[in-house]
Amino acid sequence: MENNNDELLKTVIAKAEVWQGEGYDAETRAEVKRMLDNPDKTDLIEAFYKDLEFGTGGLRGIMGAGSNRMNIYTVGAATQGLANYLKEAFADLPEISVVVGHDVRNNSRKFAEVVADIFSANGIKVYLFDSFRPTPELSFAIRHLGCQSGVNITASHNPKEYNGYKAYWADGAQIIAPHDVNIIDHVNRIKGVEGIKFQGDKSRIQIIGEDMDRDFLAAIKGLSLSPEAIARHRDLKIVYTPIHGTGVKLIPDSLKNFGFENIIHVPEQDIPSGDFPTVASPNPEVPSAMAMAIAKAKEVNADLVMASDPDADRIGCVLRDNNGEYVLINGNQIVMILLNYIMTRNAELGRITGNEYIVKTIVTTETIKSIADKNNIRMFDCYTGFKWIAAVIRDHEGTARYLGGGEESYGFLAEDFARDKDAVSAISLMAEAAAWAKDKGLNFLQMLQDIYIKYGYSHEEGISVVRQGKQGAEEIQAMMKGFRANPPKQLGGSDVITIKDYDSLNLTDVTTGTVTKLDMPTTSNVLQYFTADGTKISVRPSGTEPKIKFYIEVHGKMESAADYDKANADALAKIEVIKKDLGIA
């Protein structure tokens, strides 16, 4: 082991010494020198032991000097590789064009301008947003302007130390195979910083902004299904917070565009800031991130509380329970409510022809399939990440009508004119769904309960086990290996009857021992266990963060709204048993 560590350190030092060369700016050289001179080589190893790679969310990492960090050189290499590949893939076009956007994070504007400069230096036309914008608007702009690619500088809801780089293809979706592998190959061919063209051609960079905002908001308004209900409930009290992020640009405007007149802000969180000063984490999945919005809701007696994450692609949502308390609902419930509303409302309007479909990810609640089946609407399962939902949309382009799709991690896409999750449209439609429910005499909680009564109760919980750094990555690999070698026989008192391993694409019927192949576009490091009583457990390492994720879904019965609290309590008790069975309690 000591020899391995010595070899690793030698490799790391050799890589770091390259970053002492004249091609790197003084600030970077000084930071690398500090790490090289430090007797404790932990920081040096973490900064250089690997190169940042594209995962489910693109390039993402802690900002700083080093090959494993987000900086102008790793961003530059990724952009040069992408530019080289675009010139190869679209060699027959007279001009290649791209859109570049960014969020509010520290260094995001700087990185976006570096990206724009490199593309332009390579003879590529660049549409650069004038300031921060929601991620889904970048996806929309690629399609709207007929571009071949795009880049968004964002680390979504990660902590403030992080930044990221999302690459998009001509359809407005994040890049998947074979393009992702080909781009990596082109990036790896760049040997040294001298291979990156940093000197931009300003004549090839066009600034965009308000016109694109207007077109995007108009397209989103076209998704509205219940304008009459909104007119009757236009004074619905809606508290909204962007949590210091990009949503402040468009989401209040979209709600007004839909016809809502009573949008209540959280003024401190309307201030864009990469430091996210009022929250420990700018993630609407985390209850503490919603605390100020909930306090405002209590103050004004709000009907609905919603938030978007820093790049406004994820939605957080709060409802009032039977005791009048404001409670955060989970991502599965958000997707379920929105898809139920869209499917039911389309049926009410006579728009279901049998050629409609929805999409969810494999780790998202199976209750959605029950809703789709009973409404005679096709449902497709795909891997985690909206690039896979976008791939399903692309496969059915022009042959079937997309109604919506989502994943448990608080992402939803109601439209096909953008191809990444969109909190702008999701928040607008969630408010509309609340107005539609109010028309039926239901508050937000009763709308959720109504779904459970009609289609069966489910409860989901996500658990993330964090393991930092190189050692953490090895521990996560060992955990996955252990689950494959010794799968659980029972979970929550119910026999495991089916195992799906998406790494081997094997579906094993535990009862008979029969193994069949899963029909998926590629492999993925995900394990799923299904029990006799309908419980589903999914296990996968995160593609963007140093953690292994467990998704637990249990089912129960709800005859009426009166059963809701007991169904919740029973589900929570069962989940605690399952966590012990998995060794993560």
Residues carrying an active site annotation: 156
Amino acid at 37: D
The Cβ of residue 444 has, within 10 Å, a number of other Cβ atoms equal to 22
How many residues appear in the chain?
Answer: 585
Beta bridge partners of 459: 554
Q: Estimate the crossing angle of helix 444-455 against helix 423-439, to 10 degrees.
A: 90
**Distance between CA 29 and CA 73 in Å, rounded?**
12
Q: 487 with 501: CB under 8 angstroms?
A: no
- Do the Cβ atoms of 217 and 254 come closer than 8 Å? yes
Side chain identity at 160, as an amino acid letter? K
Enter the DSSP assignment of 96: -
* Phi and psi, residue 549, nearest 5°: -110, 135
Give whole-number Cα distances, 423 to 154, 211, 311, in Å.
Answer: 15, 20, 9
| CB 381 within 8 Å of CB 349 | no
Copy the structure tokens of residue 98. Answer: 């791209």
CA distance 251 to 285: 18
Q: How far apart are CA 477 and CA 486, in angstroms?
A: 14
In one-letter notation, the amino acid at residue 371 is I
* Measured distance CA(315)–CA(423) in Å, rounded: 5
